[in-house]
């Protein structure tokens, strides 16, 4: 991996959570947060004058519970935002999938032990990490389910398929955060590990910054955390 150098006084840092700050878990609820991560993020935010944001596909309330630190945070791929630590939660006006969609997904995964459906406010995820044989049929069923509707999309993720509103992405989250005073006029750097982060990479690059894939730039979440520690300590 190449050495990554950024100027703390000029950069705005956007960090994915699962697979980036922490290792991927077999199921979302089994994720393990290193004990020192919240304090590291707090010091990093102080070093970058508040220009550090968490941008995740998880619901915002989960991220805030897992990372009890005062940072701007975005959940559900940009659907739910806390644009500054003291700001109220902002929820975008987005379509909700028909109630039978996640029910049909549940019926599908019942035939694949280990597969699971994660329900969200504006969509749902079919996880097949523990049942990889479900991958192809799950995608076919979900795409057929959506049919001609253009307001939802089936998005690939790491060992999962997510049905979500087309109108939001981690790219829209970067745009929203870059409009905030702590981030404005800085060079955005988005770090993620998944296909779901590609929109964030693109938005950061379009604004003159960097989109860094964890596996290429750092290798592992532990290596990224070590780099963040050095960055937080740099003077």
pLDDT band of 26, cuts 50, 70, 90: confident
pLDDT digits (tens, 9 = 90+) for 115-127: 999 999 899 999 9
pLDDT digits (tens, 9 = 90+) for 57-71: 999 999 999 999 999
Marked catalytic residue, from 16, 76, 193, 197: 16
Lowest mean pLDDT among 2-16, 57-71, 74-88, 140-154: 2-16
Residues 6+ apart with CB under 8 A from 78: 55, 92, 168, 169, 170, 171, 172, 173, 176
**176 in catalytic set:** no
Query: What percent of the chain lies above the pLDDT cut of 90?
Result: 86
pLDDT band of 82, cuts 50, 70, 90: very high
pLDDT band of 4, cuts 50, 70, 90: confident
What's the pLDDT score for residue 179? 95
Query: What are 101-107's contacts with CB under 8 Å, separation 24+?
Result: 101/145, 101/163, 104/141, 104/145, 105/138, 105/141, 105/142, 105/145, 105/163
pLDDT digits (tens, 9 = 90+) for 180-199: 999 999 999 999 999 999 99
């Amino acid at each position: 991996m190449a050495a990554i150098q950024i100027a703390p006084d000029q950069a705005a840092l956007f960090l994915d959570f699962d697979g980036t700050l922490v290792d991927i878990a077999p199921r979302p609820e089994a994720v393990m947060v290193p004990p020192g991560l919240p304090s590291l993020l707090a010091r990093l935010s102080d070093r970058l004058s508040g220009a550090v944001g968490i941008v995740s596909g998880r619901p915002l309330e989960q991220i805030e519970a897992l990372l009890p630190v005062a940072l701007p945070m975005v959940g559900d791929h940009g659907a739910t935002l806390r644009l500054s630590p003291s700001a109220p939660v902002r929820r975008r006006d987005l379509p909700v999938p028909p109630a039978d969609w996640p029910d049909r997904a549940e019926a599908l995964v019942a035939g694949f032990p280990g597969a699971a459906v994660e329900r969200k406010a504006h969509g749902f995820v079919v996880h097949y990490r523990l049942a990889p044989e479900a991958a192809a049929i799950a995608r076919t069923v979900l795409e057929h389910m959506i049919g001609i509707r253009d307001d939802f999309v089936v998005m690939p993720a790491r060992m999962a398929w997510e049905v979500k509103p087309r109108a939001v992405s981690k790219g829209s989250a970067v745009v929203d955060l870059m409009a905030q005073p702590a981030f404005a006029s800085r060079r955005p750097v988005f770090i993620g590990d998944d296909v779901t982060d590609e929109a964030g990479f693109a938005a950061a690059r379009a604004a003159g910054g960097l989109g860094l894939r964890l596996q290429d730039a750092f290798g592992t979440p532990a290596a990224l955390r070590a780099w963040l520690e050095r960055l937080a300590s740099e003077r």
